[in-house]
Structure 1
Amino acid sequence: MKSTLIPELKYLDAATAPAAATLVSVALPTLSPTVVASPLKRALLNGVISLAGKKLVFHYLRTPARIRQAAKQVQLLRETYYGELQVRKIACVAGRYYQEFQKPGWPSPAFTSYLATTLNRLVPFRPDQNTLQMVFMAITKKCPLACEHCFEWDALNQREKLSLANLRTMVANFQSRGVTHIFFSGGEPMVRINDMLEVLRTAKSGTDFWVFTSGFNFTPANAQWLRQAGLTGVSISLDHHEAARHNAFRGSADAYQQAIQAVVNAKEAGLVVALTLCATQAFTTAENLMAYAMMARQLGVTFIHVLEPRAVGHYAQQEVDLSPAQIKLLDEFYLKLNYSGDYHDWPIVHYYGYHQRRMGCSGGADRFLYVDTDGDMHACPFCQKKSGSAFSASFDEALGAVKQGGCHQFPASAI
């Protein structure tokens, strides 16, 4: 593992730092890439995955008329979501191949289940009408940081409500509805490492499990135990390529180093690694975005997960929305990194806002929802309105309430 030195501004208050702040050196490791560089290998792998999908269509639909109907619907969905763009990037981690952040790797039971749910949505072939595929589950109120953008700010470090039994029940409820992605968040979910391990060990197959973490407590041993218990990936919050600015954003002098070390530990354990970036007004410039991408490439991560700030939680009643020019910059960043030939071996960018503005929100239990630190379901982490418990006997009623409420700002596409 190589390392290079990158400049760090030596201060913690990024907003008020002097222009001539002292520069110090921070070691940034150079880790092995996961995104496939060879054009031929990428084409072959994407072709194999496409063929696997077509075989599943034949398996589930069987009749020529239904297969033709599915082909038309899939093409319409692809055009709605991507336009004229074509997914070419692909990454390999621990024997599985990943094209997109929200899509399970192939081959796996989760991949098969994901495609079956998507297909059933377009051309129904089974009695259930389940369309939910992803759940973001906040499993703890505890967190050692004080992050500038935290959407669970008002709940932080209060008495825990969710027991291990509650967590198991919620996971079982969502798995029984065909959910293929469950993301553990918080607070800081790594404070409940032992409970996460127990949940992973008792969960059924067919679901990819991820952890959203700041890097806190993501030690080499914990990374290995999580991987052995069934964790697929980890999304590590890293909100700036400059250490001091990330530390200021997170309210901790150790946040940057913990995040970088978590990347190292996760990759050594064979986990898929994403970096999650909250692209704030202060951060979102073309220079910062490309510097961040270069850092992510050097770290060998698979995904860059870009989030826009929202005026909820710690940001409540603040003017944090990006300008139209900044949103355009994020669109261009997403398109350049994913579809330009100059960046074919750079990390895959997932920018949900790009698609949300074009085909509506897929939250509100349409494709995903959020469960808060009390176990109550919401449309998403940023559209919070309690709709009922995810571990009570009234689970189906609460799930229906979330879906009925939907998203008013970005109505979902019918496809």
Structure 2
Amino acid sequence: METTLITDLTYVAAPVVPVAPPSLPPTVLASRLKRAFIMAVFHLVEARLLWRFLRSPARIRLAAERIKELKRVYYGHLKVRKIACVAGRYYREYQTPGWPSTAYDTYVATTVNRLVPFRPDTDTLNLVFLAITKKCPLACEHCFEWDALNQKETLTRAHIHAMVAQFQARHVSQIFFSGGEPMLRVNDLVAVVEAARPGTDFWVITSGFNFTRENARRLKRAGFTGVTISLDHYDAARHNAFRGSPAAYNNAVQAAAYASEAGLVVNLSLCATQEFTTDANLMTYARLAKQLGVTFIQVLEPRAVGHYAGKSVDPSPEQIALLEAFYLKLNYGPDHLDWPMVHYYGYHQRRMGCGGAADRFLYVDTDGDLHACPFCQKKSGSALCGSLDDSLATLKTRGCHPFESAST
């Protein structure tokens, strides 16, 4: 049978005792000398890649100038200071492949081709969020796919194979499998990634459900790079209430431990609700992430879509200021250089606009339809039928809505 699904999604109604989070060694480098050395290696690697792609001193200088300007727009006066090492690869950003890898070279090639074209295609996609199942055992407060949950499946394993191949042909360097709960289709995940060609990092976005030690090892053997685990509170009871399951916290914490043990990069994803966003909560959450030895913390702002549709969930200007201060403290503060790196897309989105709508990333829903991003859904063609080139062109033309928030 091509598609394997767990159909009984009901938790046993039994008392769940919160597990004690393990204390795992940090993956973020603590040594200033080692950080400086690896950063110098990155510069040499990128110089080598520029020569490989462009083969002209004048074009290399032009690319270097444009890359410098791109970094200035994205980071402002900030300089990347932190580096993590997992399974022999080094990471500076959550949504950038680690080096050394074919995926890293692919990412740099697409970035350079965007700035100084050296190949005939105009593909600019770096990242795809690919939802592979409608099934989920949880009832999350913020779920953006709420209306599609536990409906009849559309995507077969063959569909997922085909979509991955199409996006790889367009030089996509990262694919994040989501849902629903993608670990319900772990057999399909393993089969698809085993069959994929080199040049793409694969991640799974999960609540931790069905993320056993053996399944973590299977993902790593198949070629997965990392796992993004949804953990929305350091307090077990509050996370369980947010996720609608008494086992959600245990599943998330154990998944982080199993993933680290297997050599997968671990990112904790936090939906920073109005109720959660205080300085004390953010720092307590970061301490838990450090204890778990994770590499990244992703901060997401809630959006009034899906289960939150019609609700006032945007953070206040004061809370946005807290989130930005947290991002700056954890990534650039001298007292947190070996703490997990924070990925807060909202910080950069407010300064340089959105990279969705097939500019740098897009979202494919559980029917194979294309959207600007998981939170900005409006069908713009299909990844399963018709011309993908035409669908991507339509998506780019429609674009994303202007980024608006309580801070503007």
TM-score tier by shorter-chain length is over 0.9
Which residue pairs with 2:148 in the alignment?
A: 155
Which residue pairs with 2:34 in the alignment?
A: 41
Please state whether the residue corresponding to 2:153 is helix, strand or coil.
coil
Which residue pairs with 2:191 in the alignment?
A: 198
Which residue pairs with 1:345 in the alignment?
A: 338
Partners of 2:275 and 2:385 lie apart in 1 by: 42
Q: Is the 8 A contact 2:89 2:99 kept in 1?
A: yes
Partners of 1:350 and 1:46 lie apart in 2 by: 19
1:232 equivalenced with 2:225 (yes/no): yes
State the one-letter code of the partner of 2:395: V
Which residue pairs with 2:5 in the alignment?
A: none
Map of 1:385-404 to 2, 5 A cutoff? 385-404=378-397
Please state whether the residue corresponding to 1:201 is helix, strand or coil.
helix
Question: For 1:290-332, what per-residue CA distance to the aligned partner results, in whole angstroms no more than 9, with x for missing partners?
Answer: 0000000000000001100000000000000010110010000
Partners of 2:222 and 2:400 lie apart in 1 by: 35
Which residue pairs with 1:80 in the alignment?
A: 73
1:218 equivalenced with 2:211 (yes/no): yes
Tell me by how many angstroms 1:58 deviates. 1.2
Partners of 1:363 and 1:227 lie apart in 2 by: 28
Which residue pairs with 1:172 in the alignment?
A: 165
- For structure 2, the 5+ residue unaligned runs are 1-16
- For structure 1, the 5+ residue unaligned runs are 1-23
1:132 equivalenced with 2:86 (yes/no): no
Partners of 2:47 and 2:344 lie apart in 1 by: 27
Please state whether the residue corresponding to 2:267 is helix, strand or coil.
strand
Which residue pairs with 2:276 in the alignment?
A: 283
State the one-letter code of the partner of 2:318: A
Partners of 2:380 and 2:64 lie apart in 1 by: 36
| Partner residue of 1:182 out of 175, 185, 188 | 175
Tell me by how many angstroms 1:25 deviates. 7.4
Question: For 1:249-303, what per-residue CA distance to the aligned partner results, in whole angstroms no more than 9, with x for missing partners?
Answer: 0000000000000011101110000000000000000000000000000000000
Map of 1:14-53 to 2, 5 A cutoff? 27-53=20-46
Moved over 4 A (4+): none
State the one-letter code of the partner of 1:393: G
Tell me by how many angstroms 1:167 deviates. 0.4
Tell me by how many angstroms 1:26 deviates. 5.1
Partners of 1:129 and 1:25 lie apart in 2 by: 50
Q: Is the 8 A contact 2:18 2:250 kept in 1?
A: no
Which residue pairs with 2:322 in the alignment?
A: 329
Tell me by how many angstroms 1:393 deviates. 3.4
Which residue pairs with 2:370 in the alignment?
A: 377
Partners of 1:226 and 1:404 lie apart in 2 by: 36
State the one-letter code of the partner of 2:345: Y
Which residue pairs with 2:116 in the alignment?
A: 123
Q: Is the 8 A contact 1:173 1:391 kept in 2?
A: no
Which residue pairs with 1:7 in the alignment?
A: none
User: More strand by proportion, 1 or 2?
Assistant: 1
Relative to the length of structure 2, the TM-score reads: 0.94
Which residue pairs with 1:10 in the alignment?
A: none
Which residue pairs with 2:9 in the alignment?
A: none
Partners of 2:272 and 2:143 lie apart in 1 by: 13
1:65 equivalenced with 2:58 (yes/no): yes
Question: For 1:226-257, what per-residue CA distance to the aligned partner results, in whole angstroms no more than 9, with x for missing partners?
Answer: 11001100000000010100000000000000
Q: Is the 8 A contact 2:18 2:236 kept in 1?
A: no
Q: Is the 8 A contact 2:19 2:250 kept in 1?
A: no
Q: Is the 8 A contact 2:163 2:383 kept in 1?
A: yes
Tell me by how many angstroms 1:408 deviates. 2.3
Name which of structure 1's ranges 186-195 and 395-404 shifts more when overlaid on structure 2. 395-404
Name which of structure 1's ranges 295-304 and 62-71 shifts more when overlaid on structure 2. 62-71
Please state whether the residue corresponding to 1:256 is helix, strand or coil.
helix
State the one-letter code of the partner of 1:206: G
Partners of 2:149 and 2:235 lie apart in 1 by: 26
Please state whether the residue corresponding to 1:391 is helix, strand or coil.
coil
Closer/same/farther in 2, CA of residues 375 and 25 from structure 1, 3 Å limit: closer
1:250 equivalenced with 2:207 (yes/no): no
Partners of 1:400 and 1:238 lie apart in 2 by: 35
Which residue pairs with 1:367 in the alignment?
A: 360
| Partner residue of 1:141 out of 126, 134, 146 | 134
State the one-letter code of the partner of 1:67: I
Q: Is the 8 A contact 1:274 1:305 kept in 2?
A: yes
Question: For 1:8-57, what per-residue CA distance to the aligned partner results, in whole angstroms no more than 9, with x for missing partners?
Answer: xxxxxxxxxxxxxxxx9751210121000000000000110111011111
1:316 equivalenced with 2:309 (yes/no): yes
Partners of 2:99 and 2:189 lie apart in 1 by: 24
Map of 1:105-116 to 2, 5 A cutoff? 105-116=98-109
1:304 equivalenced with 2:323 (yes/no): no
Relative to the length of structure 1, the TM-score reads: 0.92
Which residue pairs with 1:6 in the alignment?
A: none
